[in-house]
Amino acid sequence: MKTVPRNSIIISCLIVIASSLCVDSTAQVDRHNDNYPKIVRLHAGQNVPGMKPEVFSPGFISTPDRYELNSIFSNDGKEFYFVISASTPEEKEEGIYFYIPMVTRWTEGTWTIPEKATFPNNDLAVDIAFSPDGTRLYYCSDKSIFPNAEGLDIWYVERKDKTWSQPVNMGSPINSPKGETQPSFTNEGKIYFPSARPGSEGVDIYTSQLVNGAYTPPEKLGSAINTAYNEGNSFVAPDESYILFARWGMPESTHGGKGLYISFRDERGVWSQAKYVERSTGMCGSLAALSPDGKYLFYSCGGDIYWVDSGIIEKLKTDLR
């Protein structure tokens, strides 16, 4: 055991279909097998959540014998991507991580058994995000265009009919030798991402504008969000009205040394002082994303994927004033 519209109907069907099937999952995991995993244990479904976070699709997506994170629907709601960690406890102790992107598809009135996604070839892939128009899928990989790189690079693939193109590195000015992760986009294509590039205090969150098809030099967000501690795992609302992110490396007396924070952006473009959210919402973890219809907020915590009514954001805006 681990310790750790555009279409509302489609989301509900994912839960209902999951509850109608039962498949054994006792087979051993082989993370190097291209067919991994073809067998997934499916479990009872659930109703849509309210203001209390709940584990998403237990037994079908979130399972007791896997570590799942970083989930997102495609823009049309017909694909659901998530990532599983296949690292052993010993590998994690050594800082070695293996991530496998998974996908389930809405096909002929049912959701397919989750299987390994094909877009990154056999490379590590984590921190999945879609472009605003849904034609590009972004992810982070330990393959870098920089010699002696110290972190991940952001890559993307483009949808070609029912397949994906070969991976493309975002290159400069977004990527740097110090590593970039968790890309997140506004409706206008503006990108937010964490980086440890020069000028950062550890890891900080940056943003870059899309101008005439090219990204401008990234700018570090101000002290309302970035601090002397590490900030990352960020998600910006499509309308840029708020940003959720994780902060860690703090004294243990401060929320156990880590926590989930939120900042709101006003009509002048100014970000509010970030506030800790777990105490008032029960939300922990990071790597948030909205459902295509904007009704539900998904995030990762302790090796499972959670979801909650997105109205919790407005509640936070009121409660944290």
Residue with tokens 């590998």: 91
* Distance separating alpha carbons of residues 38 and 142, to the nearest angstrom: 25
What are the tens digits of pLDDT across the range 86-120? 777 777 677 677 788 999 988 887 888 999 988 76
What are the tens digits of pLDDT across the range 152-201? 899 999 998 878 899 999 999 999 999 999 999 999 999 999 999 999 99
Determine which helix (DSSP H) or strand (DSSP E) holds 140, and give its type and residue range. Answer: strand 136-141
Q: Could you tell me what percent of the chain has a pLDDT over 90?
A: 52
Phi-psi sector, 92: left (phi>0), alpha (psi -120 to 50), beta: alpha
User: pLDDT: is 189 or 278 the higher one?
Assistant: 189
pLDDT, position 250: 87
**Containing domain of residue 90, as a range?**
8-319
Taking residues 208-228, what's their average pLDDT? Answer: 97
Would residue 104 count as lying in a domain?
yes
Residue 202: partners with Cβ closer than 8 Å, 6 or more residues away = 196, 228, 229, 230, 249
Instruction: Tell me phi and psi for residue 231, to 5 degrees.
Output: -125, 135
Would residue 1 count as lying in a domain?
no
Residue 33 has pLDDT above 50, yes or no: no
Taking residues 253-260, what's their average pLDDT? Answer: 82
Taking residues 240-268, what's their average pLDDT? Answer: 90
Would residue 3 count as lying in a domain?
no
pLDDT, position 221: 98
Report residue 17's pLDDT band, with 50, 70 and 90 as the boundaries. very low
Q: Which two tokens stand for residue 289?
A: 């994303």
What are the tens digits of pLDDT across the range 51-73? 999 999 888 889 888 889 999 99
Residue 137: partners with Cβ closer than 8 Å, 6 or more residues away = 81, 119, 128, 129, 130, 131, 156, 157, 159, 164
Would residue 152 count as lying in a domain?
yes
Residue of 188, 187, 181, 186 whose CA lies nearest to 204 = 181
CATH of the domain at 261: 2.120.10
Distances 13 to 4, 115, 305, 312 between C-alpha atoms, Å: 28, 18, 17, 23
Query: Strands of 275-276's sheet, edge to edge?
Result: 230-236, 242-248, 258-264, 275-276
Report residue 43's pLDDT band, with 50, 70 and 90 as the boundaries. very low
Residue 28 has pLDDT above 50, yes or no: no
Would residue 268 count as lying in a domain?
yes
Would residue 169 count as lying in a domain?
yes
pLDDT, position 94: 74
The whole-angstrom distance between residue 66's C-alpha and the CA centroid of its chain comes to 17
Residue 277 has pLDDT above 70, yes or no: yes
Would residue 2 count as lying in a domain?
no
What three-state secondary structure class fits 242?
Answer: strand
Report residue 306's pLDDT band, with 50, 70 and 90 as the boundaries. very high
Tally the domains of the chain. Answer: 1
